[in-house]
Amino acid sequence: MSEPTQRKPTIVVIATGGTIAMRIDPISGGPVPTLSGADLVAGIPALGDLGEIIVEEFANIPSEQMQPHTWLQLAQRIRALTSVDAAGARLSTRQRPRGIIILHGTDTMEETAFFLDVTAPTDVPVVLTGAMRAASDPDPDGPRNIVDAVTVAVHARSRGRGVLVVMNGNIHSARRVTKIDTSDVGAFQSVLPPDLGRIHAGRVHYSGAWSPRTHVPLPTHLPRVDIIPMYAGVDDFALKAALAVGAAGLVINAVGAGNVNDALFQGILQALNAGIPVVIASRVPYGEVRPVYAYSGGGIALLRAGAIFARDLNPQKARVLLMAGLGAGMASPALVSLFNQ
């Protein structure tokens, strides 16, 4: 009697576009969206050895065109694939895919990854990947990144780690990863602590690094939150403009460990007095924001005024978390706890 054939793991690939799906347009002279997710998968025969690949064509856009409502749709899709069926019954382990791959442009990849990590918790590995070189490049990095992403998704030790970003052979957590180079294939890096692991010669090697995770109930909508920059000589014009168009919250891209000048500080005080939550992040890529200085605009003064510190989150991720918290109906005390988990 022959041995039963072992069932291949099911991997769902959700294509959203990005450079990975672009080719050089001879008329415009630059990469434009061209390939579907099915095209990309069909061009990588090795994927068939890793699992049964199911492709979903979600979008084909540069990641600059990603919108908060797109994040919500992606989160809803992931929850549908990993949580409950159309009738509301909880899916069994057998019904759920082994992993989910999201093909995404690199420019806002970290924001999408972090939003999904916060709002779509699941033990099923969700891995974002993309490319720094177009598909028509003589040496495209997309195919290898896709293979690496699927390799990570089917690995037993990837379960329960949250949303991951896999690029250039490195495994990053959604919370820690950021894009640090405009063009190099090694454009992504984890900060505080280093990356979670690597893929080498088809093998996954996890390090001992750990990344905290924060969960928020999936909102039905995401309110407007704007990032206000701090730079030498800035005033509160941009802050007031954001409030004038309906910002429900503000993230300050502060300097140092979380400091602003007096002019911006006065605008922050007015926003806080009006009940607008203000989160302090930093334009410095490494280290946490924390209250250090007591002068007007220093971190201690901001904390005493009621501002929330983003800790290790960069401004764009602090904005994602504030939007999710506000969208879930959280008021000030709950928001403080959310950022301090």
Active-site annotation holds for 220: no
Please state, in angstroms and as integers, the Cα–Cα distance from residue 138 to each residue in 60, 107, 134, 211, 238, following that order.
Answer: 22, 22, 9, 36, 44
Q: Which residue has the tokens 């891995």?
A: 127
Rounded CA separation 190/206 (Å): 14
Q: Which residue has the tokens 């690496």?
A: 148
Backbone angles phi, psi at 10, to 5 degrees: -90, 130
Listed in sequence order, the residues at least 6 apart from 231 whose beta carbon sits closer than 8 Å to its beta carbon are 255
Residue type, 321: L
Rounded CA separation 170/161 (Å): 15
| DSSP H helical ranges for 120-214 | 142-154
Rounded CA separation 174/225 (Å): 20
Active-site residue identified among 19, 119, 129, 214: 19
Q: What is the largest CA-CA distance in the chain?
A: 81
Rounded CA separation 152/166 (Å): 8
For residue 338 the two structure tokens come to: 């959310």
Q: Do the strands 22-24 and 31-33 form a parallel or antiparallel pair, or are they unpaired?
A: antiparallel
Q: Do the strands 278-282 and 308-309 form a parallel or antiparallel pair, or are they unpaired?
A: parallel
Q: Which residue has the tokens 């390090």?
A: 207
Rounded CA separation 60/18 (Å): 7
The catalytic residue positions are: 19
